Amino acid sequence: MATSVAAHVPAAAAARRSGIWSWITTTDHKRIGILYGVTAFMFFLLGGLEALIIRAQLASPNNTLVDADTYNQLFTMHGTTMIFLAVMPLSAAFFNYIIPLQIGARDVAFPRLNAFSYWVFLFGGLFINASFLFGAAPDGGWFGYANLTSKAYSPGLNIDFWVLGLQILGIASLAAGFNFVVTIINMRAPGMKLMRMPVFTWMALVTQFIVITAFPVITIALVFLMFDRFFGTNFYNVTAGGDLLLWQHLFWLFGHPEVYILILPTMGMVSEVLPTFSRKPLFGYAVVVYSGVLIAIMGWGVWSHHMFATGLGPIADSVFGATTMLIAIPTGVKIFNWIATMWGGRIQLKAPMLFAIGFIAMFIIGGLSGVMHSSPPSDLQQTDTYFVVAHIHYVLVGGAIMGIFAAIYYWWPKVFGRMLHDGMGKAHWGFMLLGMNLSFFPMHFIGLLGMPRRIYRYDTALGLDTLNLVASIGAFILGASFLIFIFNVFWTRKRGQLAGKNPWNAATLEWAISSPPPVYNFSVLPTVSSRLPLWTEHGVSEIPDVPPEPVHVPGGTIWPILTAAGILAIAGGAIMHTLWIVLAGALFMVFSIYRWAFEPFEV
């Protein structure tokens, strides 16, 4: 059956909705959100493990823990995993779970497409990591510069896994992008005007617009690379007149907007946490929203600052240097808004708030070193050194990951009905902050003193033994801090305090319903009359605990996961250079799409 009706008795609905099969066929945005979160966290641990091996190798000079080949695979997969398989899908977990609740909807616009996105993401992640089983993990860096990736210089399967895996992941991102833009624009409850939407939902909307415009560009860059490797075309072939900068332009035309795909959702998350724990509304809501939009637009005009070292000439250098400095302005505006939100508030230093404050502080440091790169002469000194590594880790660990953990501690009670232990959360925060600063702050000096990145060993004559050891110790403290979180999760399952509807006394709509929310989210569709519905008298119409009439809930379906499996088979056949598997996979995919299109399914 593809459709069902949730009964008045929740227990009856719950019984039908348990077991592995119900998870495989689910179209419930909340379940898909949890699937995204758990999967992405696993990949996050894997990427972290890769980082720890890298830091163990670099803990002492001329270390022999791993060889150069393995090291190349480790830093490539660390970057690829953290960006595409950890930070992006961790944000997607919150998009899935929280957005429909924040706008007062019962699900996303296309529940089956949503399931499809998840399965494609999972299969893409598994595919790209399966390369380890063949001892041929991608080794060309997460940026995959041509022509390091061409068949002549990388004849193995490594880059094949990378080029195919990233294309699969792109499909997942694009499908989710269309889905969430339509959901946010079209599925809002009555009265939920655009300028009443929570900032998290706003930033998600902006992010998805970047996704649907940036991902086609990298898709084409990857298609060119795939054709070069599989069919002998000349896109990145210098001897035929090809230009290696084509790859760099296409990649960074995607790559810089991608940076904002990673950070804007997090900016939305802390914009929810900070007002709640300052007990006052966000300062300058409209300006925060418009800054986010401006960042997204300006993010399209800065890509060549990743390419100053290629010698683009004085005009291009000046223009991209200037646009890069300009984009710091809306970012700075947001930071001042967050600080002004806390100013004069009754601040409650709970774990989510600590992570949000940590986000602001760390992101400022990362932002400052970022503005330093915007000046081409300065950038030329920093390019390819550990200074850049310090910068990206301050914005992505101190920024994105800190913000995501603020969101995890903040929304955990809504998702699972129990509060994560606050003391353990604070300990996690403390060790994470200590570990990341100990690890990444010395890298500023390591870089400026001349140590290049992506080199698997260094000589003691460089004089950087101590700083590198400190960075490695910091990395292990950072890694260990997540063990506290994992312990907290298991502890909370049994002993966590029950959350109730609104444990933080927050203002937005998701806190008006029970924790965890019922399968239909809202017993009646709410009518919203305020930007802060729960902080305003009559801000939202009454939402009874039991639906006054039966609520239609979309049922499960198997076709999204089978369509995704077809895509996986196509990639699998391609990596084996076996045409019939590719064709069989394509046929199976088309068959599944037809079954999907014609199965009875009501949203």
Partner 1 sequence: MTHAVAHDTSTGLDNRKMAFWLFIGSECLLFGSLIATYLVYEGRSISGPTTHEILNIPLTSISTFDLLMSSLAMVLALAAVARGDKLWSRVWLATTALLGSMFLGFQAYEFTHFVREGLTLQVNLFGSTFFVLTGFHGGHVFVGVMWLLTLLFRSFQGKLGPDKALNVEIAGLYWHFVDVVWIVIFTVVYLIQRQ
Q: Which is nearer to partner 1, 319 or 586 (CB)?
A: 586
Q: Which is nearer to partner 1, 580 or 598 (CB)?
A: 598
x/- map, 316-355, partner 1, by CB under 8 A = ----------------------------------------
Q: Considering the rule CB under 8 A, would residue 217 count as an interface residue with partner 1? A: yes
CB 379 within 8 A of CB 308: yes
| Contact partners, residue 508, CB within 8 Å, separation at least 6 | 102, 198, 272, 532, 533, 534
Q: Considering the rule CB under 8 A, would residue 231 count as an interface residue with partner 1? A: yes
Q: Judged by CB under 8 A, which stretch of 177-185, 361-369, 417-425, 488-496 contacts partner 1?
A: 177-185
Q: Considering the rule CB under 8 A, would residue 3 count as an interface residue with partner 1? A: yes
Shortest gap between Cβ of 213 and partner 1 (angstroms)?
6
Q: Judged by CB under 8 A, which stretch of 72-80, 172-180, 339-347, 348-356 contacts partner 1?
A: 172-180
x/- map, 6-35, partner 1, by CB under 8 A = ------------------------------
CB 415 within 8 A of CB 516: yes
Q: Considering the rule CB under 8 A, would residue 600 count as an interface residue with partner 1? A: yes
CB 571 within 8 A of CB 168: yes
Q: Considering the rule CB under 8 A, would residue 235 count as an interface residue with partner 1? A: yes
Rounded distance, CA 247 to CA 571, Å? Answer: 22
Q: Considering the rule CB under 8 A, would residue 166 count as an interface residue with partner 1? A: no
x/- map, 91-130, partner 1, by CB under 8 A = ------------------xx--------------------
Q: Considering the rule CB under 8 A, would residue 188 count as an interface residue with partner 1? A: yes
Shortest gap between Cβ of 193 and partner 1 (angstroms)?
9
Q: Which is nearer to partner 1, 59 or 218 (CB)?
A: 218
CB 517 within 8 A of CB 551: no
| Contact partners, residue 188, CB within 8 Å, separation at least 6 | 103, 104, 105, 197
CB 177 within 8 A of CB 212: yes
Q: Which is nearer to partner 1, 232 or 377 (CB)?
A: 232
Q: Considering the rule CB under 8 A, would residue 219 count as an interface residue with partner 1? A: yes
CA distances, 91 to each of 84, 87, 297, 364, 549 (Å):
11, 6, 20, 21, 34
Start-to-end Cα distance in the chain:
14
Q: Which is nearer to partner 1, 73 or 208 (CB)?
A: 208
Q: Judged by CB under 8 A, which stretch of 174-182, 403-411, 452-460, 487-495 contacts partner 1?
A: 174-182
Q: Considering the rule CB under 8 A, would residue 591 count as an interface residue with partner 1? A: no
Q: Which of 174, 389, 432, 532 binds partner 1 (CB under 8 A)?
A: 174
Q: Which of 67, 542, 545, 602 binds partner 1 (CB under 8 A)?
A: 602
Q: Considering the rule CB under 8 A, would residue 177 count as an interface residue with partner 1? A: yes
Q: Which of 221, 302, 532, 564 binds partner 1 (CB under 8 A)?
A: 221
Q: Considering the rule CB under 8 A, would residue 213 count as an interface residue with partner 1? A: yes
Q: Considering the rule CB under 8 A, would residue 220 count as an interface residue with partner 1? A: yes
| Contact partners, residue 378, CB within 8 Å, separation at least 6 | 372
Length of the chain in terms of residues written: 603
CB 512 within 8 A of CB 504: no
Shortest gap between Cβ of 195 and partner 1 (angstroms)?
13
Size, binding site for partner 1 by CB under 8 A? 42
Tokens of 278: 């300052």
CB 245 within 8 A of CB 307: yes
Q: Considering the rule CB under 8 A, would residue 187 count as an interface residue with partner 1? A: yes
Could you tell me how far CA 494 lies from the centroid of its own chain? 29
Q: Considering the rule CB under 8 A, would residue 212 count as an interface residue with partner 1? A: yes
In the block, tokens 């004085």 appear at: 314
Tokens of 471: 């960075």
CB 557 within 8 A of CB 596: yes
Q: Considering the rule CB under 8 A, would residue 427 count as an interface residue with partner 1? A: no
Give the dihedral of Cα atoms 465, 449, 311, 396; nearest 10 deg: 70
Rounded distance, CA 308 to CA 302, Å? Answer: 11
Q: Which of 242, 435, 479, 585 binds partner 1 (CB under 8 A)?
A: 242
Could you tell me how far CA 378 lies from the centroid of its own chain? 30
Report helix, strand or coil for 191.
coil
Q: Considering the rule CB under 8 A, would residue 241 count as an interface residue with partner 1? A: yes
CB 334 within 8 A of CB 288: yes
Q: Considering the rule CB under 8 A, would residue 522 count as an interface residue with partner 1? A: no
Q: Considering the rule CB under 8 A, would residue 222 count as an interface residue with partner 1? A: no
Question: What DSSP letter does each residue of 266-286 carry, written as one string?
Answer: HHHHHHHHHHHHHTSPPTTHH
CB 10 within 8 A of CB 518: yes
Q: Which is nearer to partner 1, 486 or 579 (CB)?
A: 579
Q: Considering the rule CB under 8 A, would residue 234 count as an interface residue with partner 1? A: yes
Rounded distance, CA 228 to CA 153, Å? Answer: 12
Q: Looking at 104-157, list the stretches that DSSP marks H as alpha helix, in order from N- to C-terminal side.
A: 111-130
Q: Considering the rule CB under 8 A, would residue 243 count as an interface residue with partner 1? A: yes
Backbone angles phi, psi at 10, to 5 degrees: -60, -30
Q: Considering the rule CB under 8 A, would residue 224 count as an interface residue with partner 1? A: yes
Shortest gap between Cβ of 306 and partner 1 (angstroms)?
17
Residues that bind partner 1 (CB under 8 A): 3, 109-110, 174, 177-179, 181-182, 185-188, 192, 212-217, 219-221, 223-224, 227, 231-235, 240-243, 246, 250, 594, 600-603
